[in-house]
Structure 1
Amino acid sequence: MEIEVLGTGSSGNCYKVKIGKATLLLECGLPYRVIQKKLNFKASEIDACLITHEHMDHAKAVKDLMKAGIDCYMTKGTAEALGVSGHRLNTFYKSPDRRWQYNFKLLRDLLILPFEAVHDVAEPVSYFIKTKDDKESLVFVTDTAYMKYKIPACDVLMIECNYVKSVLDEKAVQGKINTSLRNRIVKNHMSLETLVEALKSADLSKTKKIYVLHLSDGNSNEEMIKRQIQEVTGIEVVIC
Structure 2
Amino acid sequence: MEIEVLGTGSSGNCYKVKVGTATLLLECGLPYKRIQKKLDFKVSKIDACLITHEHQDHAKAVKELMKAGIDCYMTKGTAEALGISGHRLKTFRPFEKARYYSEEIEGLIVLPFEAVHDVAEPVSYYIRTYSKYDKEESLVFVTDTAYMKYKIPACDVLMIECNYVKSVLDEQVENGKINISLRNRIVRNHLSLESLVEALKAADLSRCKKIYVLHLSDGNSNEEVIKRTIQELTGVEVVIC
TM class, shorter-length:
over 0.9
CA drift of 1:97 comes to 6.0
Task: Determine the structure 1 residue equivalent to 2:116.
Answer: 118
Describe how 1:150-229 pairs up with structure 2 within 5 A: 150-229=151-230
Task: Determine the structure 1 residue equivalent to 2:140.
Answer: 139
Task: Determine the structure 2 residue equivalent to 1:70.
Answer: 70
* Distance in 1 (alpha carbons) for counterparts of 2:98 and 2:11: 33
Matched, 1:106 2:107: no
CA drift of 1:224 comes to 0.3
CA drift of 1:20 comes to 0.8
Task: Provide Cα deviations, 1:123-163, integer angstroms capped at 9, x if missing partner.
Answer: 00000000011710000000000000000000000000000
Indicate how the Cα distance of structure 1 residues 54 and 175 shifts in structure 2: closer, same or farther if over 3 A, else same. same
Q: Which amino acid aligns with 2:147?
A: Y
Q: Which amino acid aligns with 1:212?
A: V
SS of structure 1 residue aligned to 2:53: coil
CA drift of 1:99 comes to 3.9
* Distance in 2 (alpha carbons) for counterparts of 1:145 and 1:93: 24
Q: Which amino acid aligns with 2:211?
A: I
Task: Provide Cα deviations, 1:170-205, integer angstroms capped at 9, x if missing partner.
Answer: 111121110100000000000001101100110000
Task: Determine the structure 1 residue equivalent to 2:35.
Answer: 35
Structure 1 residue runs without a partner (length 5+) = none
CA drift of 1:109 comes to 1.0
Task: Determine the structure 1 residue equivalent to 2:79.
Answer: 79
* Distance in 1 (alpha carbons) for counterparts of 2:167 and 2:194: 9
* Distance in 1 (alpha carbons) for counterparts of 2:177 and 2:211: 31
CA drift of 1:21 comes to 1.1
* Distance in 2 (alpha carbons) for counterparts of 1:171 and 1:158: 27
Q: Which amino acid aligns with 2:8?
A: T
* Distance in 2 (alpha carbons) for counterparts of 1:25 and 1:78: 17
Indicate how the Cα distance of structure 1 residues 96 and 145 shifts in structure 2: closer, same or farther if over 3 A, else same. closer
CA drift of 1:96 comes to 4.9
Q: Which amino acid aligns with 2:93?
A: Y
SS of structure 2 residue aligned to 1:128: strand
Task: Determine the structure 1 residue equivalent to 2:17.
Answer: 17
* Distance in 1 (alpha carbons) for counterparts of 2:34 and 2:125: 24
8 Å contact kept, 2:99–2:113: no
Identity %: 80
Alignment: residue pair count: 238
Task: Provide Cα deviations, 1:60-114, integer angstroms capped at 9, x if missing partner.
Answer: 0000000000000000000000011110011013235654137xx7212100000
SS of structure 1 residue aligned to 2:23: strand
Q: TM-score if structure 2 supplies the norm length?
A: 0.97
Structure 2 residue runs without a partner (length 5+) = none
Matched, 1:48 2:48: yes
CA drift of 1:47 comes to 0.2
* Distance in 2 (alpha carbons) for counterparts of 1:145 and 1:26: 19
